[in-house]
A and B are shown apart, each in its own frame.
Chain A
């Protein structure tokens, strides 16, 4: 009889490994890891530029297992979710996915995520942060079961213009018929696998959901299938560049969850984040509805917008002013980058009324560290439409077969 392998106590190794970690550790070259929701994940495999360009020109693998996942089931599952989130879940058909936010009583965002409708009474909710307490409290009066399934599902994002081709070669026959925000079940080499046409890059792409024990085999077969299409794994930094171009928001970067804010006016409502299209006032009551209605009546005091900044120096953390002289402060930048694809210096920023109106010019106070000497630039920044980058191929069904 052999004794079971001793498991080190959690305090010896507080960060978990994902089912893909073994391969990721072999391929990464920089020892550049980052903790994400209790897991150790790769921040950069080779160079950020190489990985970013693979997102826009080839196919990329991104391990999103640490994303928190809940399974919500029961006779009241739909009613429960419909009261929880601001979008109308009744209209979400089985086999489809919806991007949602949920708010507290004051209409302030707690988190954003996606709802996968797997059946009439069966949903998966993916969230940025753990939500069990909020979900459990929200379940009072509803006949639902809520279960965290984060570690039971290995998840891999396969994104890029050649991703459909690679996945078909991998074995997902008929994948080209999958429209954005649809999901489908497949079996590849005897392994069940779910694919959804979702992602965080704003490009053509899919997310694969599988059992953890199949993770390494799927990874290996995908890399083999994508060899002629420049497939490579990417880390969180490259993904972050892609999501800024796509205009997607990152919790704790572009907004802070209302559950974590301490200072007043640091919370954000979906209306203030430009997510008004996610708020469906004509559905039955949902958390924060009355507060959001009142805010709509009052008008917005601030709004998250896209900025086109003059020059090519990213406006990281820049304060924004109403005039070049920098007297009246009107907001600040939450995310910024030079966009290699758009060839524009872009940023996401939260700006006070009335300076958030489209076309308004504000001034970004940019600090540059030039060989340890700080220089300051006041750059004009214009409020522009988001997303900055939205290629046709992101929606095309079927996608290009190449």
Chain B
């Protein structure tokens, strides 16, 4: 394990002054995360050409019904393990396709995180930080958009398809806010202009004229952001076809499986291929306090099919080496099976998985005890997990932003990269 929080000189004088936008009352104002050497770091990261897809299991998928089975124990449940293409490693029978792609995955069986409820867990596992009253932490999609995105891209740099992150761009500012698509991956209504192109152009010219006039007399960051948002929306018009998967679906359906989650994964692949650096794809329904087993039996097989299809598709297109695919939810589920045939929230020992860009395949990291109640070795915190993600994408986990004068690294101070997972 690499302890990366060792620098002493990370707060330069210029950076300090730049970040110190404290008010007279001591409150902090947003400065959109001004940071030391932003452009240099971003340029370096962009050179890696890395991208990321997050498969978000909303509600918290059960580790017992996926990657950390406890067969024969009271906590085990009715599913049976299957062998994988890794010698000696078994996972749940609900994941037959992923079982044959374990050589591409790092599975972490020793997640130990700090937020047990959904809102807190969703924030934590999208940002690496617990919610705070005075700091709006950015989701890692926004961080990746900032460091791996393209400024004048026709496509948004941070796209969410039917997903649930609740932090957005935080202090990074609206420029990096997620572009949300609905459960079918359809573009929002505002992205479609019903005006004649000539009229649309005249309107745009008029708006630019007014905004330029305003900007001469005002140094308003928000006005600039407003203009950038409009420009981004206009650029999107020229790339709308990327979001249309209907023509490809009949051919892709066998690979991804005939489910809405499968369609979303295909769209994610298209967006990544078109240059979007971060796409989050959500599947809801994992909060199985009741009927956990039939619940997972409904959800996991179609997710397995789509996930395996996505990895295969990325691989066949030569994209997998540069595309990190993260699989996780906000929490795990209890070892104890409750009297509703369900499992409740649990964060003391649960599982996540990584594959693709920058990740070593064929790794099962960490171990839980016989009943899955606690981590036996190599616990991985949320900070460690995000440090590993950033490291694999070529973003230094120590990279700092400033919320006012407070330096905030992209992965929390003290986090350790799971070096065993890094290729």
Do A and B pair up? The answer is no
